Amino acid sequence: MTYKMLRTVFLFGVFATCVGCGAYSFTGISIDSNTKTFQVNYFQNTANLIEPGIERDFTLALQDIILNQTNLDLVKSNGDIIYEGEIVEYRIAPTTATANNTAAQNRLTISVNVRFINTNDEEADFEKRFSFFYDYSGSAQLVGSQKTTAITEIYERLTQDIINASLANW
Q: 3-state class of 167 per DSSP? A: helix
**Residue 55 resides in a domain:** yes
**Residue 136 resides in a domain:** yes
**Residue 42 resides in a domain:** yes
Indicate if the pLDDT at residue 38 is higher than 50: yes
The residues, any chain, with a CB within 8 Å of residue 103's CB and separated by 6 or more, are 94, 95, 96, 97, 138
Q: What is the pLDDT of residues 100-149, one digit of tens each?
A: 666 688 999 999 999 999 999 999 999 999 999 999 988 888 889 999 99
Least confident of 17-21, 144-148, 163-167: 17-21
Tell me, what's the pLDDT at 22?
37
**Sorting pLDDT into bands at 50, 70 and 90, what band is 1?**
low
- Is the Cβ–Cβ distance between 67 and 58 less than 8 Å? no
**Residue 128 resides in a domain:** yes
**Residue 149 resides in a domain:** yes
**Residue 9 resides in a domain:** no
How many structural domains comprise the chain? 1
**Sorting pLDDT into bands at 50, 70 and 90, what band is 18?**
very low
- Is the Cβ–Cβ distance between 74 and 39 less than 8 Å? yes
Q: What is the pLDDT of residues 74-106, one digit of tens each?
A: 999 999 999 999 999 999 998 876 666 666 889
The amino acid that residue 17 corresponds to is T
Range of the domain at 51: 32-167
**Residue 19 resides in a domain:** no
Q: Domain with 54 in it: what CATH number?
A: 3.30.160.150
